[in-house]
Structure 1
């Protein structure tokens, strides 16, 4: 009995969420041609409905799990968990983006479409079953992200950030692609499961190890790990804040999914070598991210360097290895995505036309002006610092345990020390809100109600999820259950 050349409709059902998302993006792209600027709320609302619908499809299990295209696309519990969070943060980024970009006349019809295609790229990335699919998802995400960062064409800082992002992103893609080509040359296959099986009999081990080094370097850049973090502060500062919010949350979780697929699913037998590389990257990221963040006065740059340190914590679980370590890293990735959305959301909520709340000094005396907003920002900063009982505390605890479980005691100790150092610059934001005098005239409250309510739910959710974090952790453990 021969295998059919073309898959049937039933064979493609695991792809149903991605197909729905991409088809909806094309429909919205055409619809935008017939919608003027005053009615662009229509395409914005339809985009949010589409994201919510695809999220429901994944959560309800529509299409089922399985593999497509001879194992090139894999839909399993890990993919579903990551996709649900990616879709959630993509939707939140659009909610934050609407009032901010509309106030500055920066909301063309391409924004929601680019977000949808970038989200599709992230979904493909976490379901990659081959080197080709991983690179396809990565480039779809990257190209859309470049365009979003360059949204404000009249701002020199934004244009400079986009150029740096494109040049350095292309360099990283080249490193990753070169590593993939070496691994293909050593194993003779592009499928990750076949690579995993072929490594034991690979004739040229030096070629294989060289490919793994380039692979790890490319992954480190996409995650924003030191010393491959040089693009992060400039891009975060130069991009419009809602775009920074978008590229800081979902893509990091997608990059974790890519790292797991390529390293554990592909070159898993070489784990002793690549886990050592990840441990080194984690140590450098923890030190550089926390130390340099202390010197920052721009809040977006501070959060960028704090991202480097958070990636260091995420790498603790990957370096620790095993189902426990991977589950801890996934839990950290989910927690950080939610915290990152809230942290940049605070800047969006407090910003107005002609005033960007990007400097730490802009938060001086916030408690005197708006105790409620100050309390919400306190929740966000406390969670990022890892203060119990907020969500960030349990995330840090999980990856530190994973590092200890992987016999990386030195790295766990370094993580604890860097967590204490990192608490300083988060507490500095809290200090200026509650103990410094207000500077300048008070800005009028935001006219709309939706954005403050969303930010309130987002910030208080970090406390609520910190009190009831076990279901999320159980979800992550299930993703790596044998």
Structure 2
């Protein structure tokens, strides 16, 4: 194995070595606050993130491990953002986990292994590597959801997540096996070459299309898109909020990555077929997500349905790459979808982080009514939470607005009546969704407080929350830098 093989996977090697080392070191930690384990974990994530950012700036694309791994700018950018999301999640989670007897070595080691799974997924260039990364991430997340073993809701959520996750993994694996049977290869570039030969050259074209259906179903589950959304509300509500954020932030970037790897880099020749499926999933997600969220009184459950609706926008972007039989708008569409999901993750970190900061021992503070009078108890928290709600609703001057606008722009520039009509529908669906976001703001600023307990949070969590809110505003006013990074990553991925 030559040096280039190792060079391409240095960040993953560092991550797996440190995860094992931290698991051993934690055995000798006697501090109940687990400070050595926590800071060693954060340092590891920071170093790995910087490595990915440096590789992204180099702009090179390297194939390694006999072509099974691709280290390209898109993979490095998504891995870097996943590291940032995980680092921020642990900052928010630390005080929450400490008050619920969850601050154990397992929390940190499982988080690192979930991040390793994400890193493997974003750099996959082979069906087996995709599945390996997916299962590594998923099994770690199942265990994290069940970390509060004496908590009935958490245990129930873990069981639901495990059973439905196994079903979705089975869908994806079955679809990939059909793709292998039809093309004779597990390599994504080789699958692309076979499919590009045309339907006439494929003896098993019907099997190929059938496989695409199962692959799309498996990807839709990981993204949390309707009608494969049934796990999202129950798991988001039942899991400890720290685990909910670990599920709802960084893994969404990994799901987006394997969607690009499989559908775009491997099956762009079948875009007409899978784009139709993505459009149906997008419409269902926008309708079900926005309408169901209106009826929710639990904030975590409302945000779960909000996630489903937000994924509808991402799917619309992914489904706009090939229009009128050409791929001229592909880079614009996929980079817009990528920017959209990045802004969503940024905002999700803040919303669930706020839920954890407002929680205290014996009280979760996850009902919408628990936010009543927050503007009087803590004007700064209320202001930051308002920014996050505005971003999710797509209000101008927030990152969420630019994310949605980028997708709508990509759809309209296709000049297709279908996509223009769907863009109008998406705007109307967003207007419906704005109701439940504005309701949260109304409760914070205009309802009388039912709980006057002073708010207390560690200085580092308050500082990161402030940075999180400012980031949502900065990328709302000046989105060009992040948009350019997404566009560069996607263009270089498509070029290779």
Q: Which moves more between the two structures, 348-357 or 30-39?
A: 30-39
Structure 2 counterpart of 1:323 = 331
Are residues 1:430 and 2:444 paired? Answer: no
Q: 1:96 & 1:370 partners in 2: Cα distance?
A: 18
Are residues 1:439 and 2:450 paired? Answer: yes
Structure 2 counterpart of 1:21 = 15
Matches for 1:36-435 after TM superposition, within 5 Å? 36-38=30-32, 40-61=34-55, 65-199=61-195, 200=197, 201-321=201-321, 322-406=330-414, 407=416, 408-435=419-446
Cα distance, 1:447–1:257 mapped onto 2, change above 3 Å: closer
Q: 2:4 & 2:263 partners in 1: Cα distance?
A: 30
Structure 1 counterpart of 2:325 = none
Q: CA deviation at 1:269?
A: 0.4
Cα distance, 1:447–1:135 mapped onto 2, change above 3 Å: closer
Q: CA deviation at 1:39?
A: 5.7
Cα distance, 1:72–1:112 mapped onto 2, change above 3 Å: same
Q: Deviations over 1:167-204 (max 9, x none)?
A: 00000000000000000000000000000111223211
State whether residues 121 and 258 of structure 2, in contact with CA within 8 Å, keep that contact through their aligned partners in structure 1. yes
Structure 2 counterpart of 1:458 = 468
Q: CA deviation at 1:37?
A: 4.5
Q: 1:93 & 1:141 partners in 2: Cα distance?
A: 16
Secondary structure of the 2:319 match is helix
Q: 1:404 & 1:467 partners in 2: Cα distance?
A: 22
Q: 1:447 & 1:293 partners in 2: Cα distance?
A: 29
Equivalenced residue count is 475
Cα distance, 1:447–1:382 mapped onto 2, change above 3 Å: closer
Q: Deviations over 1:335-369 (max 9, x none)?
A: 11111100101101111112211000001111111
What TM-score, normalized to structure 1? 0.97
Q: CA deviation at 1:460?
A: 2.1
Structure 1 counterpart of 2:28 = 34
What TM-score, normalized to structure 2? 0.94
Divergent runs of 4+, >6 A: none
Instruction: Return 5+ residue gaps in structure 2 as ranges.
Output: 322-329
Q: CA deviation at 1:106?
A: 1.2
Q: 1:141 & 1:119 partners in 2: Cα distance?
A: 7
Q: CA deviation at 1:373?
A: 1.1
Secondary structure of the 1:38 match is coil
Q: CA deviation at 1:445?
A: 2.4
Q: CA deviation at 1:32?
A: 1.2
Cα distance, 1:75–1:297 mapped onto 2, change above 3 Å: same
Q: 1:297 & 1:281 partners in 2: Cα distance?
A: 26
Cα distance, 1:447–1:421 mapped onto 2, change above 3 Å: closer
State whether residues 299 and 358 of structure 1, in contact with CA within 8 Å, keep that contact through their aligned partners in structure 2. yes
RMSD, matched Cα: 1.2
State whether residues 14 and 65 of structure 1, in contact with CA within 8 Å, keep that contact through their aligned partners in structure 2. no
Q: Deviations over 1:412-464 (max 9, x none)?
A: 11110111111110000000111111113x11221522211211111122111
